[in-house]
Structures are given as structure tokens and as C-alpha cells.
């Protein structure tokens, strides 16, 4: 018993968690994780415990979708109380670190006035010793720079916080990941193991390469009950479609949101990996359609809908290299994607603007990404031009056309583009929606509302097309697919500004002889 070859079911899902919260970039990268825990999640849980019904009712109100409300029924509020107590008891070092960062930033704001910074080091809170440098820019504006690899090596980065929840996709929308911690439940298998655990690689490889329950049990050190729960996620045969590979030519498949799979018989590339596990639904590609091996995964930027930890963990053992843009190295708003993903046990390479990465039969050129980050100094963002199958594909992510001149330079470097994939979430969330925990100085609502996470509107998207000289335009990354709600929490209707802008852009494309489409669900191009 337990030695038969087994395969992970395509509808198995994993939610990686830190102290119960979804492990997106800013909950794992240690400086940002400390700030979010102290200044976003602890206050959020305290607010819930003061009046659970306010949170529950707000979570049910479509008009408040995407707000920071804890969607946990009142009869489970004692479990939330226990979670908060455990955080306050076990994470004092993180909470103290966040307080030290706030204190240091205040110190720098008030005393770094263009003169010698040497005396400030003695005044820094001891928790920051050895982990930061203070520097001016050439306008004499001071800032603290974190030496991020050292913070990962320090006790601020604790794998004790990490766990994974494994379950089967039900098709029912999960609670919003940025605001609702995950509690235990009989339907999920909780494993308190670090994300880089080799047993997770064995598990996720087994969608393609069979394993045995005994091997998983040994690697993951499972109890009898845990092994029985895990066996529910396994099947006797691999459940994969033969059409996941091609024998000739080239193909692009749209898997939803910003996830594309570019293929030839020799190679496969995935962009901003996010794959649905709901095999009971129609009109979408799922893990059944994913090629067995992905030579490259291209990440455009660190927003939680583009670096999706539940899919990235599921690629463990199936991806050659994850290509990520290099950050500014130390700016608090700009954590390293490479450090984050390597701590998830994934192979990573960093690229700068115009770095090239070869793959069998093609080349990826990293190209600049403009805006969409609430005017924060975030450099860990890149678009990509992929040359393969005789075509040049522009993978635009959420990069905006705020200054179309950029795309003229890009064309000068990479040549004309055949197919451009453009994000047009042009009424994005305000600054504080994603970054509130990082701010140690007040941000007014007016300031926050003026600085949004917005991609291109119609005029900007048209300007990008003109400058790139592209012949085909595909609008993607709009968060419209129904299965993205737990991460996107978007609410579109026919009056939504974004959708009207997409329609306006497509009219412009038609008027200018450019083929265009607004992608939703699944799509395929074959040549």
C-alpha cells in the first residue's frame, strides 16, 4: 500500500501562507512583510475583532469588493483572536523591526538635511544595524536603503511563518487574498513547511512525472491522517491533454489575465504564470493544457496578479528559469523578485532593460516598463519582446503609454513588432490600496487617489501601437476572468471606464488597419 505510482490531480490547488495570510511578494520579502504585518494586518485583525459583523457585511457588499475586510463568519472569530494573539506573541521581533523602520525614517526625515550623515548611524534603532545605508540623491533628498539579501539572512526572515494549504478547486470564489487570513478547515490539508521544501517539488512534478504516496509521505513527514488527506489529491493516471504540446509551427495560448504560453515543438515560455485549476469549467485552459516543461517563465512586475505564488509553486520542478526584472536594490517599495522566488525554491535569473535570454529557437529581450506603480520608485518591472517562430511578440504587462516616446526607442532596438499584448486597466487602484503598510509618513486621501496603479487608456494604447509599429493588438491583463476574483476583486460592468476605453482603442485599431481583440477566458493563435 502506498507504493503505486500516483499523479497530482489537475484540480489540486495550493495556497502558500505566512501567519495565515496569502504569501504574495510583500508578505514574504522580509522588510515589506514586517511593515505589512505591523501596520496593515495586525490593525486589520484588531478591527475585525472589535466588530466582526462590520467586516462580514462589508465583505458581502459588492460595492465594497476589494476593500480590506476580513471575510470570516462571526462564529469563527475566536480563531481570529487566537491568530492575532499568536502573531503578537511569536512575531515580536518582526513587529519591533517595523517600529524601528518607522523610527529610522522619522529620524532621517527630520535630521538628514543635506549635511554629513555619519552621526545618524549611531542614532539608528539597533534592529537596523548592519542592514541599512542612508544616502542622499542629487537633490539632497535622503532615503534609507535596505541591504535586502542580508535582511533575508537575518532572523527577520523566518520560515516558521510559512505554511501551505492544499485542497481541491471547488469553483467557489475564495476570500480576497489581501485581506482575509486562511484558517484551518476539514477540506484543506495544512502543512507547516517552508515554501522551498523539496517535498513540494516532488508533489507538483507529479502532475507529469508520477510519484508514490509513500515517497511523498516520507519527504513531507506526514502523519497517517495527513497522508490520507493528501491521497485525495492524487490519481492513478496523469490527467493531461495531448494538445498541450505541438508537433510543428508555433502557437500562443492565452490562459487568462496576463498568462500566455508561447510554444514551438522545441520550447515553451509562460508569461506571468497564473493557471486555473478548475477542470470542471469550460472556456479556459487549465493545468491539463500546460506543457510538461517550460523553458522560461517571464515575470513583468511584482503585483500580486503577475507574481502569483499559487501558480509559481505549482511550477516547481517544471520550469527551467524564471526571468525577473532587477529591482533598485534597497528601496522599501521595490523588493527583489529574485530573492522572493528563490526562497520559494524556484530557479531565477535577473534581467535589466535590453538584457537578452536565449531559448531553443528564440530570444527574449527585456524591454522597459513604464508607470503603473503609483509613481513609486519601483524598478522591478519589465516588458519583454519574444522573437520566436518567425515573429516578434511584445509582452506589455501593465506598462502604460504615459510617454509613448519610450516605445519608439524600443522599436529602434528590437525592430518592428508583429503582435502586441497590452494591459489596459486604466482606472487602477489608488496608492494606499497596495502600499499602505509601507508608508511611515501620512498620505492624504487626495494624494493617494491621484496616484494610481493604472495601465494604458485608449489614447495611450494607440500611441504605443503607433510607436511600436505593431500589426496586431491584444488587450489582456484586465482581471476580467471569473476565476481571478480572490486576487483581483475587480468589478466591471458595461459602463466601466476601462471597458469603454478598450472599445475605443479597438475602434482606433480598426480605423488604422490593425487587427485587434479583447481577450477573455481562452484564446489561441497558431501559425
- Indicate the DSSP class of residue 21: E
Q: How far is the CB of 82 from Fe ion (least distance, A)?
A: 34
Instruction: Sort strands 259-263 and 268-271 into parallel, antiparallel or unpaired.
Output: antiparallel
Q: How far is the CB of 303 from Fe ion (least distance, A)?
A: 4
**Beta-carbon count within 10 A of 127 CB:** 20
Q: Partners of 452 in the beta sheet?
A: 430
**Cβ distance to Fe ion smaller for residue 211 or 300:** 300
Find all residues with CB under 8 Å of 335, minimum gap 6, and list them.
25, 26, 29, 31, 32, 148, 302, 327, 380
Q: What is the distance between the terminal CA atoms of the chain, rounded to a whole angstrom? A: 48
Phi-psi label, residue 200: left if phi above 0, alpha if psi -120 to 50, beta otherwise: alpha
H helical segments located in 29-170: 30-36, 42-50, 52-60, 77-90, 92-111, 118-123, 148-153
Q: Do residues 134 and 108 make contact, with C-beta atoms less than 8 angstroms apart? A: yes
**Cβ distance to Fe ion smaller for residue 136 or 433:** 433
The crossing angle, in degrees rounded to 10, of helices 92-111 and 77-90 is 60
- Indicate the DSSP class of residue 66: T
**Cβ distance to Fe ion smaller for residue 217 or 303:** 303
Residue whose entry in the numeric block shows the C-alpha cell 490520507: 228
Instruction: Sort strands 523-526 and 515-518 into parallel, antiparallel or unpaired.
Output: unpaired
**Cβ distance to Fe ion smaller for residue 19 or 305:** 305
How far is residue 280's CA from residue 440's CA, in Å, rounded to a whole number? Answer: 46
Q: In what order do the strands lie in the sheet with 211-212?
A: 211-212, 5-8, 234-235
Q: How far is the CB of 19 from Fe ion (least distance, A)?
A: 25
How far is residue 54's CA from residue 48's CA, in Å, rounded to a whole number? Answer: 8
Torsion of CA 481, 312, 59, 439, to 10 degrees: -120
**Cβ distance to Fe ion smaller for residue 32 or 163:** 32
The crossing angle, in degrees rounded to 10, of helices 52-60 and 42-50 is 100
**Cβ distance to Fe ion smaller for residue 6 or 303:** 303
The footprint of Fe ion (CB under 5 A) covers 303, 305, 398, 477
Amino acid at each position: 500500500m502506498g507504493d503505486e505510482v500516483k499523479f497530482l490531480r489537475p484540480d489540486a490547488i495550493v495556497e502558500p501562507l505566512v501567519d495565515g495570510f496569502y504569501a504574495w511578494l510583500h508578505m514574504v520579502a522580509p522588510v515589506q512583510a514586517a511593515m505589512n504585518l505591523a501596520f496593515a494586518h495586525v490593525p486589520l485583525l484588531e478591527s475585525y475583532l472589535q466588530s466582526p459583523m462590520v467586516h462580514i457585511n462589508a465583505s458581502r457588499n459588492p460595492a465594497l469588493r476589494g476593500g480590506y475586510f476580513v471575510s470570516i463568519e462571526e462564529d469563527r472569530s475566536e480563531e481570529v483572536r487566537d491568530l492575532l494573539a499568536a502573531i503578537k506573541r511569536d512575531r515580536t521581533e518582526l513587529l519591533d523591526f517595523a517600529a524601528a523602520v518607522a523610527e529610522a525614517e522619522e529620524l532621517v526625515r527630520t535630521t538628514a538635511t543635506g549635511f554629513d550623515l555619519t552621526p545618524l548611524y549611531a542614532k539608528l534603532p539597533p534592529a537596523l544595524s548592519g542592514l541599512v545605508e542612508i544616502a542622499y540623491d542629487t537633490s539632497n533628498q535622503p532615503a534609507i536603503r535596505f541591504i535586502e539579501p542580508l535582511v533575508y539572512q537575518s532572523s527577520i526572515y523566518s520560515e516558521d511563518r510559512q505554511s501551505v494549504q492544499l485542497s481541491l478547486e471547488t469553483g467557489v470564489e475564495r476570500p480576497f487574498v489581501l485581506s482575509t487570513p486562511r484558517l484551518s478547515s476539514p477540506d484543506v490539508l495544512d502543512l507547516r513547511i517552508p515554501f522551498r521544501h523539496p517535498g513540494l517539488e516532488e508533489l507538483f512534478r507529479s502532475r507529469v512525472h508520477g510519484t508514490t504516496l509513500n515517497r511523498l509521505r516520507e519527504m513531507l513527514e506526514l502523519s497517517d491522517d495527513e497522508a490520507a488527506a493528501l491521497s485525495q489529491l492524487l490519481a492513478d493516471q496523469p490527467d493531461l491533454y495531448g494538445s498541450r504540446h505541438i508537433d510543428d509551427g508555433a502557437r500562443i495560448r492565452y490562459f487568462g489575465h496576463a498568462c500566455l504560453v508561447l510554444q514551438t515543438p522545441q520550447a515553451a515560455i509562460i508569461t506571468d504564470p497564473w493557471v486555473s485549476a478548475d477542470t470542471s469549467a469550460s472556456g479556459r485552459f487549465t493545468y491539463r493544457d500546460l506543457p510538461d516543461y517550460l523553458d522560461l517563465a517571464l515575470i513583468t512586475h511584482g503585483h500580486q496578479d503577475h507574481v502569483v505564488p499559487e501558480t509559481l509553486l505549482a511550477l516547481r520542478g517544471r520550469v527551467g528559469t524564471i526571468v525577473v526584472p532587477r529591482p533598485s536594490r534597497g528601496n522599501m517599495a521595490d523588493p527583489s523578485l529574485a530573492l522572493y522566488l528563490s526562497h520559494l525554491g524556484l530557479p531565477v535569473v535577473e534581467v535589466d532593460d535590453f538584457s537578452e535570454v536565449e531559448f531553443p529557437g528564440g530570444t527574449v529581450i527585456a524591454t522597459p516598463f513604464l508607470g503603473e506603480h503609483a509613481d513609486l520608485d519601483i524598478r522591478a518591472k519589465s516588458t519583454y519582446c519574444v522573437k520566436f517562430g518567425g515573429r516578434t511578440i511584445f509582452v506589455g504587462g501593465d506598462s502604460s503609454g504615459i510617454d509613448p516616446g519610450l516605445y519608439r526607442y524600443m522599436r529602434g532596438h528590437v525592430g518592428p513588432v508583429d503582435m502586441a499584448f497590452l494591459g489596459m486597466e486604466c482606472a487602477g487602484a489608488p496608492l494606499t490600496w497596495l502600499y499602505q503598510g509601507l508608508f511611515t509618513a501620512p498620505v492624504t486621501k487626495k494624494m493617494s487617489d491621484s496616484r494610481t496603479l493604472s495601465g494604458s487608456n485608449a489614447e495611450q494604447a494607440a500611441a504605443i501601437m503607433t510607436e511600436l509599429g505593431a500589426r496586431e493588438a491584444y488587450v489582456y491583463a484586465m482581471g476580467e476572468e471569473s476565476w481571478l476574483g480572490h486576487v483581483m476583486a475587480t468589478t466591471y460592468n458595461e459602463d466601466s471606464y476601462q471597458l469603454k476605453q478598450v472599445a475605443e482603442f479597438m475602434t482606433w485599431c480598426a480605423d488604422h488597419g490593425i487587427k485587434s481583440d479583447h481577450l477573455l477566458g481562452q484564446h489561441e493563435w497558431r501559425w
